[in-house]
Homo-oligomer: A and B are copies of this chain.
Amino acid sequence: MQAGKPVLYSYFRSSCSWRVRIALALKGIDYDTAPVNLIKDGGQQFSDEFQALNPMKQVPALKIDGMTIGQSLAIIEYLEETRPTPRLLPQDPKKRALVRMISDLIAGGIQPLQNLSVLRQVEEQQRLAWAQKAISSGFNALEAILRGTAGKYCVGDEVTMADLCLVPQVANADRFKVDVSPYPIISRINRSLLALDAFQVSHPGRQPDTPPEMRA
């Protein structure tokens, strides 16, 4: 790996890693991927080496500018402050608040309830229903909010941090077989975003650690 180049500790199928990969792609930041397999070897995130980097034992973590940052939204906000073009937060504080509200709704109100480490604590036969409930109750709220905020994308017509959270969460909904037909705005925005280059190159099906059978 080239010295000075950012390193993203990532797992191809992690929705939180995907958020950061989209940000890096949109901002044109060249980086190396250090894959952390959340399944193999009992979970490589539990290794001493990785825990020293991110005590939360979660991906993503980004090594950049001489420091390591964990938590996807904190990483994206840092990239926004230090590499502001193109912007992922609108200029107007009220619109920024809407973007952050939607981002936090997904990153704090949906994803944590259906991630791998939580599902492992739920009885196996109940896991699918648990994840579906978390996603659909979050999407009910999100659809209602988007009715007031959406243009072409989640907040108006520019791609924002909220969109970086939306697409990976819809992919998780697919994975857990959630019926997304009650969410026409979420579905429309998701389709528009998936057509953009930055969402394609960052896709779980196209990462260095994507297994051959899951390549897209």
Contact = CB atoms under 8 A, between A and B. Distances in A.
A116 interface: no
Contact of A93 (B73, B82, B98, B118): B82
Interface residues of A, number: 44
A171 interface: no
Contact of A77 (B56, B67, B96, B109): B96
Given A112-B109, A112-B112, A130-B121, A94 B71 contact: no
B96 A78 contact: yes
Contacts of A130: 121
B101 A141 contact: no
A113 interface: yes
A39 to B, nearest CB: 19
Given A107-B108, A112-B109, A97 B141 contact: no
Given A78-B93, A130-B121, A101 B140 contact: no
Nearest to A133: B121
B77 A65 contact: no
A202 interface: no
Given A55-B142, A57-B141, A74-B103, 12 more contacts: A55-B140, A55-B141, A56-B141, A65-B94, A69-B98, A71-B100, A71-B101, A73-B104, A74-B104, A78-B97, A112-B112, A121-B130
